[in-house]
Amino acid sequence: MPLDSSTYALAHLRVDGRRWKELRRIHGQMSTQAAADGSSYFEMGNTKIICTVLGPRQPTKSGGRDQSREAIIEVEIGVAGFSGMDRKKRSRNDKRTQEMQYTISSAFASTVFTSQYPHSTITIVLHVLSQDGALLAACINAATLALIDAGVPMQDYIAACTTGSTASYASNDEDADPLLDLNGMEELELPFLTMGTSGGEDKVNVLVMETRIQMPRLEAMVSVGLDGCKQVRNILDGIVREHGKKLLSSR
């Protein structure tokens, strides 16, 4: 039994040795699959995602003609059976997966210039290879990279991260520190929220919280989350620029 998050107060160190405001190691690559219109591979700690983007293109489904004036963003998430600690197959109709799909789709609908592609569909396919917390955030970041790779015009990146609080809901610990970027073990023990912003920290596109938290602690969490998203955005930006340089030099 390794130590759990209750030992944070002893030395202000988290279960994996980080301080409260530190992100995990983030690694990303673009254009990982040549066959897709756009693709990326993204890691936040041990959470690993492959993302491919198809489109914009005409809807494949036959039947009623799509009369919409804007592109539809479809999201498919596949969670590999080996990705979690328990070997468990999640079905495509899993409630949580569906909810994540919807969240990601509506987040990008607010930043992609969908009106430029009426009657068409943009499909984002996410494969979760490994899960260790911040699943939704990592999916959003991976999708951002893949959309950029696909050349889909959008206002700005959506960069996402999670924030939590060191004290569990029921204890009224005044000194609770907010925590940036929880890993899987922390997510099981602590209250947390997922946040995605664009334009650095100007616009909040995603804010999801499924655990309970006392109101007074929320402010600190949101504040740390905004700053975390800005850090993630800088990292994403670095990855994009690096990729761009490589493209230019290979010409």
Partner 1 sequence: MTSLKRSYASSTTPSTTLSSKTYLRTLRSGKVQKVVRELYLRQDIPCSSQLCSTCIDLAPAGFHGKQDPPVLSATPAGTTQYPQGHYLVPDTNAFLTAMDLFEAEDAARDVIVLQTVLEEVKNRSLPLYHRLIALTKNEGKRFYVFFNDFRLETYVTREAGESINDRNDRAVRKACSWYGSHLQDAVKARQSARCPAVVMLSDDRENLRKAKEDGLIASGLQDYVSGLPDADRLLDMVAASRDQRATRDEKAKMVYPEYMSMSAMLTGVKAGSLHQGTFSVSPYNYLEGTVHVPAFDRPLIIQGRENSNRAVSGDIVVLEVLPKDQWKAPSSKVIEEDDLTKNENAENEDESAEGVVTEKERRALQEEVKRAHGKVAEGKPQPTAKVVGVIKRNWRQYVGHVDKDSVRSEAKQSRAQQTVFLIPMDKRIPKIKVRTRQAGDLLGKRVLVTIDSWDRDSRYPVGHFIRSLGELETKGAETEALLLEWDVQYRPFPKSVLDCLPAEGHDWKVPADTADPGWKGRRDLRDLLVCSIDPPGCVDIDDALHAKLLPNGNFEVGVHIADVSHFVKPNNAMDKEASLRGTTVYLVDKRIDMLPMLLGTDLCSLKPYVERYAFSVLWELDQNADIVNATFTKSVIRSREAFSYERAQLRIDDQSQQDELTQGMRHLMMLSKKLRAKRMAAGALNLASPEVRIEAESETSDPVDVKTKQLLDTNQLVEEFMLLANISVAGKNYSAFPQTALLRRHAAPPKTNFEELANQLKVKKNLELRSDSSKALADSLDTCTDPSDPFFNTLVRILATRCMMSAEYFCSGTQAYPEFRHYGLASEIYTHFTSPIRRYADLEAHRQLAAAIDYEPLDASLQSKSKLEAVCKNINVRHRNAQMAGRASVEYYVGQALKGRVLTEDGFVMRIFSNGFVVFVPRFGIEGLIRLRDLGGGKEVESVFDAEEYSLSFGERKVELFEKLKVRIEDEAEEGTGKRKIKLSLV
Q: Report the distance separating Cα 180 and Cα 217, nearest Å.
A: 14
Task: Determine, following the binding rule CB under 8 A, whether residue 86 of this chain makes contact with partner 1.
Answer: yes
Count of CB atoms within 10 A of residue 164's CB? 29
Sole binder of partner 1 in the list 224, 232, 236, 240 (CB under 8 A):
224
110 vs 214, which CB is nearer to partner 1?
214
Residues in the interface with partner 1 (CB under 8 A) total: 45
Question: CB under 8 Å to 98, separation ≥6 — which residues?
Answer: none
The number of residues in the chain equals: 251
Coil, helix or strand at residue 222: helix
Comparing CB distances to partner 1, the nearer of 140 and 180 is: 180
CB of 72 to partner 1, least distance (A): 33
Residue list 124-183, contact with partner 1 (CB under 8 A): 132, 169-172, 175, 177-178, 180, 183
Q: Beta partners for 196?
A: 160, 206
Neighbours of 6 (CB within 10 A): 14
Residue 152: which region, alpha, beta or left (left: phi > 0; alpha: psi -120 to 50)? beta
Site mask, partner 1, residues 41-60, x = CB under 8 A?
----xx--------------
**Contact residues for partner 1 (CB under 8 A)?**
1-3, 7, 10-13, 15-22, 24-25, 45-46, 85-86, 132, 169-172, 175, 177-178, 180, 183, 185, 201, 212, 214, 219-220, 222-224, 226-227, 230-231
